[in-house]
Structure 1
Amino acid sequence: MTKEENEQRLAYLKNIVLNMPEVPGSYQFKDETGTIIYVGKAKNLKRRVSSYFLKEVDRFKTKVLVSKIRDISYFTVKTEEDALLLENSLIKKYNPKYNVLLKDGKTYPSIVVTKEYLPRIFKTRNINKKNGTYYGPFPHISAMYNVLDIINRVFKPRRCHFPITREGIAAGKYKTCLEYHLHNCMAPCVGKQSYEDYQENIRQAREVLKGNTRELGDWLYKLMEKNAEMLRFEQAEALKQRYILLREFVAKSEVVSHTITDVDVFSITDDELRKHAFINYIHVTNGTINQSFTYEYKRKLDETDEDLLLTAIPEIRERFGSHAKEVIVPFEMDWKLKDAEFFIPQRGDKKHLLELSEMNGKQYKFDRLKQAEKLNPEQKHTRLMKELQNKLKLSKLPYQIECFDNSNISGTDAVAGCIVYKGMKPSRKDYRKYNIKTVSGPDDYASMQEVVRRRYSRMIEEQTPLPDLIITDGGKGQMEVVREVVEDELKLSIPIAGLAKDDRHRTNELLFGFPPRVIGLKTDSELFHVLTQIQDEVHRYAITFHRDKRSKHALHSELDDIKGIGPKTRDLLLQKLKSVKKIKEADNQLLTDILGTSKGNLVYAHFHPTEPAPAV
């Protein structure tokens, strides 16, 4: 598109905006093919839509959207809630490219009460409202089976699949089945249970599905007492058993407060990159939680948390058929609902409900993250690298991390180790061992400087990739001596961090910067565990190298210093004479008898250098 064509496009769109009314409504952006690419809502259509064409719009994704718009249409409504509902229905109808996406890939089961002559109650994943009334969905399958179990045990709806009719019952077409003999059904199909009694049971089952268990329990208790007063003891006993089962079921539910009757609760949890949001919904009826569900939404235009909640609340309330007059939310909402009010609790039971909703949202986010990382382990490593990058405010992802450690005993057999992690995983082929050459005595700082100088001087010379982050096994002192070499001597710009230990020699803090400062990092977090693994690995590597070197030194024999005498000759001498002392004391004849003339003379001459060489 040329500059002139773009100017004509913007002029056309701005002319539409100028003629828009200043009333609530929904607007639709269309592309060059006439396809709706975005549906929005507004309390003031003219003011909201004109904001898209202001020069100060700086969000990249919004600029992309605006560049795709070729036409604008809109609908006006009377109230803010009508605008919300209209937006919701249009998004469902057209599924616009740039609108928030509800990631509802999994169909959760619901419980249906059919519209048959003798209704059935069972679970289903196929929703067809012509066939019955649906309750749910149930994200937790165990909770759904608990509800079905109490309904089957208490109200005994029929479980057969026959299309039972009034005429069929009157004609005696049906027979009792096994469920009747197992006391799971009271056989309304053969008239052993009256139609009115069966329908009353179904009505009560609906109350359980709606969450009105307390009111139903009170009604059953009063009916039981009434039957007992009228000396109908069998009916009273049956009602008593039903009441007890219902009370046990309610006891297992989350009881919040008997003063809270009908409330919706919404909370929102973001992921680390703010690409997705998890909106948890809790419905409370008569003080008891009877619905809890978390939806995942994908942001398309960097929508705010308020935008997402405003999109989700009407849709979720519609899905669950909620008409609660009070909606608990975590922050102020600019919009209003026609038949409900937003409420932000500060304390008490409603505050507890909001915290419970937030906890469920965070748990859902954690579960989704773990599930994704099981399918793609690299995703976890990338997440940890990004987290470390954000914590340290690094300019690039710390893909290659190197860590150093020294090991010696009073300065003897001094060595150092360097380990390399790539993508948060050990790259053992890149590990390096160093014998300390220029430092005498137990000077850890000087040893560290020697090793760092040798490593990065060689990497510069060989032009191999330098690390994205250096981690020292120590605190401020170790960081400073490494910085002196890396930055002051070698003129390299490599970030340096340190892992400091407490009095019990346990890693307790991450240091970074110049001068070093403590980085806020929970010691029970995954990132902290990975960093301590790096520290433990470099410590293990350096200690193992030091032990190997010390062991070789301890096993060194004076025989190894004799030029021309190899391990086999040495072992033969030790086998015959048992010790180096006896080898030293042996005469030339004995040594030549064991080793032969040439090697025997070499060994004898080594231990008796002042004596003349024996005649050959």
Structure 2
Amino acid sequence: MNKHLENIPKLPGVYIMRDGIGNIIYIGKAKSLKDRISSYFNADSESKSTAIITSMRKIDYILCASEREALIIERQLINKVQPYFNAMWKDDKSYPYIKFSLQEDFPRLTLTRKKLKDGAEYFGPYPQIFYIKKLVRWLVKLFKIRPCKLDFSEDKLPEEKKVKSCIYVHTDMCYGPCLGKISSADYKNKIKDIELFLNGKFKKLADEWETQMSELSSQLKYEQAQEIRDRLYALQNMSERVMISEITQNDINKSVERADSINELKQVLHLKHMPAVIEGFDNSNIQGTNAVASMVRFTNGIADKKNYRRFKIKTVTGADDFASMHEVVFRRYSGIIRKNEKLPDLILIDGGKGQLSAAAGALEELQVLTPVISLAKKNEEIFFPQKDKPLVLSKHSAALKLLQSVRDESHRFAVSYHRKLREKEFLNDK
């Protein structure tokens, strides 16, 4: 992580923290960007910083002329984006904590929404429960913490017949305290580093594990040394996954606009899921010659060119847009199903009811349930399968602009492929 931090300037600015799929989760300002961002990875990080680190994957920053300008930009962006963590620290009553039950002989990690004075350590609260659940599962696996809810002590173990078939013990995913396989003192010693992790003291933890691994190796305790090595690798992955880059305020505005367009699209189309991945199709031919089709993919509102596809029409003779669309859509998603790849969240067809019906027919044959719509260029009408009346959005609609971008790009890509084939055919005829 240090090599990334070295390039951050000691200047006023605004920093933007994102999760694994690019969502902005926290926005802050700083008199010195380098000092402030570095503090999140400092051994003395507070629980607030640790909460962010568990969800964060990327940091962007905007350089400002002064701390006052940074404050103004920070407020503008927070009001516009309303990130999870900024909202949480206004009212954190309903968010879950990670509970580390140190008062028990064999402590556990659990999630709770109540912070009690019961001798346990509490970390959080955290707004992104999806990530925190994953984190707890990861820590349980990494440290071999008992995942069960059994209430027992070192002096009063559960009946053997109730626990002897536990899969976690038999697969070496738990130290087996319920069967008396480990003492309370040894168990607590093996999991004591969890506190360092949850307090954000990653560097101290890494240094300790490096020392432990060397000592165990020198004592020829290779199996235990390998266990510490695996923890080190996992910890390095936790810290190295964060990328840092400088952006402009215009970049942030564009990012916010893309998010707005995706949110609006979900609402106006009444979709069950956010249309983060959209695939668009178009056909191209002149008098039935060199019939081709294109498929483009947009991810989070951005053209994902490495996942574009081109198709030569194989089963259709002459200029038949409907049959060509059916062929291409069928070929695309039969391939997706065969390779067990992820389907898009929305499919967009360039055209009207005819092209849409052809595409919908192909999807129905394949039993693909992904929503499909078409966008007709003349009046920018959005058509739906099984509905006669199209949807017409305002020309200023962010959702419409996103659909237009996908439609226009699929058209451009199809025409460029068709032109390329015609030029190749012309050269061969000479």
State TM-score, norm by structure 2: 0.42
State TM-score, norm by structure 1: 0.30
Structure ID, larger Rg: 1
- Which has the higher relative contact order, 1 or 2, with Cα contacts under 8 A spaced 6 or more apart? 2
